[in-house]
Structure 1
Amino acid sequence: IRLRALEVKAASSSARNLIGTIAYQSFKRIRRQFYELVLKADVGLVDVAWTRKQNKTNEIQDLAKQKEREVKGLEDEFKEVLKEVD
């Protein structure tokens, strides 16, 4: 009986160690997955912000080109009047 009790005690200790190792590895895996998920979310936010920034930059460039064309058109239209003022 004593031998059997020692075997049970050893098996229990071994099982506890195994369960602890499994729990620790599971926790590490979940932590890594959570980190990767947060990282992907952050990258997604950066992508969205960059796309919005690019859209605004393109809009500003288009408006600047439009302004240039309109100023040139006005200068051409009032070229004679401007010569008289100088």
Structure 2
Amino acid sequence: MRLTVGRDRAHSTGVESTTHTSACHRLVSWARVRMKRNRRVGIEARISHLKRGFGLRRTRLRRLSGAQTWVGLGVFAYNLQRRTVIRP
């Protein structure tokens, strides 16, 4: 509910009367959505790279502890690869 009358009435009813606040809120909301989307895209790309490049599509060890070891070694290899890249 939007009120277009004075500020006093808006404060007395507890409803904001300006459209500026809702526009700012929409911009902030979209900024958060974009940030979360970009983060998710980066994470998905990293997971895909780990699965393709380091054999994490399927674990060769048994039980949960074996799977944790397998993934831990894959992530360790990925980190080593990232550290050894020579940057100009």
TM-score interval for Structure 1 and Structure 2 normalised by the shorter chain: 0.3 to 0.5
RCO higher in structure (CA 8 A, sep ≥6): 2
**TM-score normalised by the chain length of structure 2:** 0.47
**Structure with greater proportional helix content:** 1
Determine which structure has more spread, i.e. the larger CA radius of gyration: 1
